[in-house]
Amino acid sequence: MTSRERVNTALNHAEPDRTPLDLGASAVTGMHVSSVYLLRQALGLDAPGTPVKVVEPYQMLGEIAPDLIDALGVDVVGLGGSRTLFGFRNEGWKEWRLFDNTPVLVPEAFNTMPEANGDILMYPGGDATAAPSGRMPKDGFYFDTIIRQDPIDEAALDVEDNLQEFTPISDSELDWYRAEAQRLAGTDKAVLASFGGAAFGDIALVPGQWLRRPRGIRDIAEWYTSTLCRRDYVYEVFSRQCDMALANWEKIHAIVGDLVTAVFVTGTDFGAQHGPFIGLDVYRDLYKPFHRRVNDWIHRNTGWKSFIHSCGSVRVFLEDFIDAGFDILNPVQCSARDMEARELKEGYGDRLVFWGGGVDTQHTLPFGTPEEVAAQVRERVRIFGRGGGFIFNTIHNVQARVPRENLLALYRTLLELAGNT
């Protein structure tokens, strides 16, 4: 099978010739740049000291380049917008180093400023005249959001303020998608698209790190409170956001067509480690109507599959996710309560595709032995892969400080299972 055939077979709940693999096709299925560096070195793809590109600076994700895709047998590639979560483009690469001295390449607008305590500040759009929107703590590996919330005047709250990032797609962005689609059409890979705009209430996006002066409700705690105390306000934001997203997606679909295999709809998390952190009634009242609108549009107008990323213990929501029209669940956090792999497969495997769940990135991958990593990979492939409906990915992104031997154990095991050595 080609990669595209392999993924499509699995998405249609049939067993392909081997388990399909995603690494790096989205911002939640990738790998920290320091781990990409370690893996490339271990595989002999680079000379020592060769830097790796940072393609998503918020989480500091590394590029999964074509030679690494070939070496690991990756089946999925990503199609996303032209700008990062800090609002600048991935272009004009320059050298930079992580706190652990890993050599990397960052975009030219990756403009940072050190603080006296050693923290590093990042700016929206790379504009150092604006208030900083990100902070990497000293000796850290990622940027944390800096909340830039003006005092809230209840009488002056305006839904328009929380819609400032949801605008008609520009001609230049459509040209970007046209060029990317033409490039990817020359491969045999499945395509996971991330068009943006339909992640209702995704808390990673609410603060607006890419906006020079975000308006409205931008504080994380204030936003979550607002889903209960300002329900009508949030519902109106979602409603108008949904209108804009679908208008933009219609234009994008006219360009990319059915080159896209699956589309990332939302990354809004509904689960914590030990259970859901919103009530099922809140999901049904506030989020599900818009999930259904988006998924109905996808299934009515395209051949794409619909992808939801929601971390933690989300089992209580799965019937509603299915009813809302989602085809794919990610990251399948089997370490959370009520998310045991076998029970998920037996209860939902004929109706949901599990894109993730392949190995635990909280415990096993960073802290287990290579033998434990290999054993868990084999177990998850056996459980989730039975009858199709499984795309192998780790549970969320591979983090920093994963031992080299464990990275090799992960991907060598997959290659062995595929009959390659």
Share the mean pLDDT of the chain. 97
Q: What is the mean pLDDT of residues 265-289?
A: 96
User: What are the Cα distances from residue 211, in Å, to 81, 144, 372?
Assistant: 16, 15, 43
Please report which confidence band the pLDDT of residue 346 belongs to, taking 50, 70 and 90 as the band edges: very high
Selected from 3.30.930.10, 3.20.20.210, 3.40.50.970, 3.40.50.170, the CATH number assigned to the domain covering 3-45+64-83+149-417 reads 3.20.20.210
> Residue 287 and residue 289: Cα distance in Å, rounded?
6
The yes-or-no verdict on residue 304 having pLDDT over 70 is yes
Both structure tokens of 58: 């918020």
Please report which confidence band the pLDDT of residue 190 belongs to, taking 50, 70 and 90 as the band edges: very high
List pLDDT tens digits, range 214-270: 999 999 999 999 999 999 999 999 999 999 999 999 999 999 999 999 999 999 999
The yes-or-no verdict on residue 40 having pLDDT over 60 is yes
To the nearest whole percent, how much of the chain has pLDDT over 70? Answer: 100
Q: What is the mean pLDDT of residues 287-315?
A: 98
List pLDDT tens digits, range 56-113: 999 999 999 999 999 999 999 999 999 999 999 999 999 999 999 999 999 999 999 9
Q: Parse the chain into domains and list their residue ranges.
A: 3-45+64-83+149-417
List pLDDT tens digits, range 26-37: 999 999 999 999
List pLDDT tens digits, range 172-189: 999 999 999 999 999 999
To the nearest whole percent, how much of the chain has pLDDT over 90? Answer: 99
User: What are the Cα distances from residue 323, in Å, to 96, 200, 289, 409?
Assistant: 46, 17, 11, 38
Please report which confidence band the pLDDT of residue 46 belongs to, taking 50, 70 and 90 as the band edges: very high
Token pair 């599990």 is at which residue? 354
The yes-or-no verdict on residue 421 having pLDDT over 60 is no
Residue 370 in contact with residue 405, Cβ under 8 Å? yes
Q: What is the mean pLDDT of residues 388-398?
A: 98
The yes-or-no verdict on residue 14 having pLDDT over 70 is yes
DSSP 217: S
> Residue 139 and residue 375: Cα distance in Å, rounded?
32
What pLDDT is attached to residue 419?
Answer: 83
